[in-house]
């Protein structure tokens, strides 16, 4: 709890006023990732491998943008900083712990951008939904990575829209806009996302499965794997929650 409080306090002045309410959830994720390190390691390894595979397939390696960089546990940022001239990390919150780690590693070609990638504000204002339009302004862009972000867009919007008459439709639009935005980028792309999650009891029986993509087709997957986001004992001794991940 002390480390969490310190991380929160250190992140507060480094975060814009609009995004400060989200620091708590980022710190909570950081704490969970530390607790669930053993259960998450294979997912993190496979995510990094998918990203590096896409990076090594680029004809030029000038700028790479990582959408949803988060805690950097699943982003091979050191390798990307060696492969590319510039690495741009985009997320709602960049924790102080992440910033400190980057400083220690002396990754001088890494840039941080604080940005809401959901497009929810545009949707609510009935404005055109183009959450990834800013990528057109990135010079020498050769690779865009969406790293375990897409499902979080839906989850975050669901919290903000709880009880809204158009909640499901708006979430579907936002997820579809992200997928379409990646398809329109004039650079190589790599999408890694969890598309569904299943609650599994001790007997191995699936109790419930939820579509995290809300019916949106994310395209054909090159790879698939399971990620035990909530292993037995994290929330209950009686069940675990396994997310099903795709990469392409």
- Give me the domains of the chain, ranges plus CATH numbers: 2-247 (3.40.50)
More confident residue, 164 or 88: 88
**Segment 28-42 mean pLDDT:** 96
DSSP for residue 19: G
Report which of 202, 204, 123, 191 is spatially closest to residue 156, judged by C-alpha positions.
123
Per-residue pLDDT averaged across 38-45, rounded?
A: 98
What are the backbone angles phi and psi of residue 178, rounded to the nearest 5°?
A: -65, -45
Say how far apart CA 221 and CA 163 lie, in whole Å. 33
Residue among 118, 92, 117, 100 nearest 21 (CA): 92
Percent of the chain with pLDDT over 70: 100
Q: For 3, list phi and psi in degrees, rounded to 5.
A: -65, -40
The two structure tokens encoding residue 39: 């259960």
Q: The whole model's pTM is what?
A: 0.95
* Residue 197 banded pLDDT, cuts 50, 70, 90: very high
Strand partners, 193: 246
Q: Specify whether the CB–CB gap between 92 and 131 falls below 8 A.
A: no
């Amino acid at each position: 709890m002390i480390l969490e409080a310190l991380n929160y306090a250190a992140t507060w002045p480094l975060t814009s006023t609009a995004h400060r309410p989200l620091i708590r959830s980022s710190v909570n994720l950081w704490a969970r990732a530390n607790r669930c390190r053993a259960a998450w390691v294979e997912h993190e390894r496979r995510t990094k491998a998918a990203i590096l595979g896409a990076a090594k397939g680029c004809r030029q390696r000038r700028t790479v943008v990582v959408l949803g960089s988060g805690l950097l546990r699943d982003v091979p940022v050191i390798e990307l900083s060696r492969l590319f001239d510039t690495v741009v990390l985009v997320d709602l919150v960049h924790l102080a712990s992440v910033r400190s780690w980057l400083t220690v590693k002396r990754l001088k070609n890494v840039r941080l951008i604080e940005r809401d990638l959901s497009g929810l504000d545009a949707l609510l204002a009935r404005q055109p939904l183009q959450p990834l339009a800013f990528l057109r302004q990135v010079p020498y862009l050769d690779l865009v990575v969406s790293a375990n972000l897409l499902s979080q867009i839906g989850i975050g919007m669901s919290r903000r829209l709880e009880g809204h008459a158009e909640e499901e439709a708006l979430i579907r639009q936002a997820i579809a806009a992200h997928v379409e935005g990646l398809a329109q980028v004039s650079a190589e792309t790599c999408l890694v996302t969890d598309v569904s999650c299943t609650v599994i009891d001790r007997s191995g029986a699936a109790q419930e499965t939820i579509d995290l993509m809300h019916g949106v087709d994310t395209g054909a997957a090159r790879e698939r794997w399971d990620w035990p986001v909530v292993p037995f004992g994290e929330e209950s001794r009686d069940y675990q929650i396994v997310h099903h991940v795709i990469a392409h």
